[in-house]
Structure 1
Amino acid sequence: MANEHMQIGQVAERTELSIKTIRHYDDVGLVTPSARSTGGFRLYTESDISRLLVIRRMKPLGFTLEEMKRLLDSLEILADASDDSSHTAATEFIADCHTRAEDSCRHLRRQLTYAEELTALLAEHSQRP
């Protein structure tokens, strides 16, 4: 299944991204489909889906499209066995993204706590006669 190509609808289902969003990521160069059908339809692989999932995870944390592209490129560099100067820069950028992601998660957890407190308060008051 690793080299099996999927159409955009299947990819949208698997990634929980809209077809429009996936097309946009192609248009801006974040995730280019691995192939095209004879009719010109976008065809994606498991590797493409992995890239889309990284983007989906970054988006709610406030990363820009440029940062998403750079992180995807950095992950590819680290996956490459060669050890060159770009390896060090990629590692540093990934570490920076990790720190930002942790900070964003802390912020989101705090917001979720506030939302849950409000929900509990509203539930308490909506039960009154």
Structure 2
Amino acid sequence: MAKYKVIPQGYMTVGEVAKKMGVTVRTLQYYDKEGLLAPSAESEGGRRLYTDKDLIILHQIISLKSLGFSLSDIKERLISLDMPADVANALTEQANDIRKKMEQLSVSLTAIEQLRTEVLQMQTVDFKKYADIIVNLQMNNEYYYLIKKFDDDTLDHIRCRFDRESGLAFMDRFNRLSDEILQLQKENVPPESEKCQQLTKTYWDLIVEFTNGDMSMLPKLMEIGNFENAANEWEEKQAIIGAYLEPALGIYFSSIGVNPFEEIQDE
């Protein structure tokens, strides 16, 4: 690197370059340290000196960085690319990366807006529930909003009882069973019929599986499952199923000689 006693014509100090290009002196020092842009010369007093050619390289760095290229990419690949096809390929890769980031940001934006709605409806600050809602939004679980109906004990039970995979699998089984029961209701199949009683048993087995046999959870589940004021199609469906299954469950409990709901009320 050439050294000069005084700053010759055509050279600029780091401060002048920073001001001209709208960057900080610290940024230029960092680019020099990382091997992205070294000054063309240096004064005897140690001042870095840049030329117009350096400004062109700096403009290239700033422009590519604004497109989302990492400094590593700029240093290792982009500045040294000479063939138009090579540059085009690099830009294509970057465009694909940006599309992925846009998709991720779009999902995050939707989650933020949905969480905001739930926060306002909950009317209390509960970061534990917020975290559960966020996790379920990330899982694309469309029933995430039900979380605000659960109390802390029920949520703790769910966290311990299910992981991401088993939780989604359980909801899938529940919804498929719900569709079968709803079809019986539409066909006016009587609750005492063998077909209805078989599905009623399966429905009850799912409840027992969910509670892990802890029948003290039933009152909470009944409260959560009260969809008299249904807010959407899924809740409307559950309200219909609940009304249809009520007598069917009574018949089923009578057949096995046990009624968990009555036992809880007697306690």
TM-score bin, normalised by smaller chain: 0.5 to 0.7
Corresponding residue of 1:46: 52
Whole-Å separation in 2 of the counterparts to 1:46 and 1:28: 20
Report which structure shows greater RCO (CA 8 Å, sep ≥6). 1
Which 4+ runs in 1 deviate beyond 3 A? Answer: 100-105
Structure 1 residue 72, shift from structure 2 partner: 1.2
Structure 1 residue 71, shift from structure 2 partner: 1.1
Structure 1 residue 92, shift from structure 2 partner: 3.5
1:99 to 92, 112, 116: 92
Structure 1 residue 101, shift from structure 2 partner: 5.7
1:71 aligns with 2:64: no
Whole-Å separation in 2 of the counterparts to 1:37 and 1:5: 10
Whole-Å separation in 1 of the counterparts to 2:53 and 2:43: 18
The amino acid of 1:24's aligned partner reads Y
Corresponding residue of 2:15: 9
The two structures have a TM-score, normalised by structure 2, of: 0.31
Whole-Å separation in 1 of the counterparts to 2:94 and 2:20: 23
Q: Contact (CA 8 Å) 1:17, 1:56: kept in 2 or not?
A: no
> How many residues align structurally?
93
Identity in percent:
35
What are the superposed Cα offsets for residues 60-115 of structure 1, whole Å, 9 maximum, x if unpaired?
A: 222111211221122xxx3xxxxxxxxxxx4443112333565659x6xxx9xxxx
Larger radius of gyration: 2
Q: Which runs of 5+ in 2 are unaligned?
A: 1-8, 107-267
Whole-Å separation in 2 of the counterparts to 1:97 and 1:31: 20
Structure 1 residue 20, shift from structure 2 partner: 0.4
Corresponding residue of 2:64: 58
Whole-Å separation in 2 of the counterparts to 1:17 and 1:36: 20
- The CA RMSD measured in Å over matched residues stands at 2.5
Farther-moved stretch of structure 1 (94-103 vs 43-52): 94-103
What are the superposed Cα offsets for residues 36-68 of structure 1, whole Å, 9 maximum, x if unpaired?
A: 011111100011111111111111222111211
Q: Which runs of 5+ in 1 are unaligned?
A: 79-89, 112-129
Q: SS state of the match for residue 80, structure 2? A: helix
Q: Contact (CA 8 Å) 1:35, 1:44: kept in 2 or not?
A: yes
Q: SS state of the match for residue 43, structure 1? A: strand
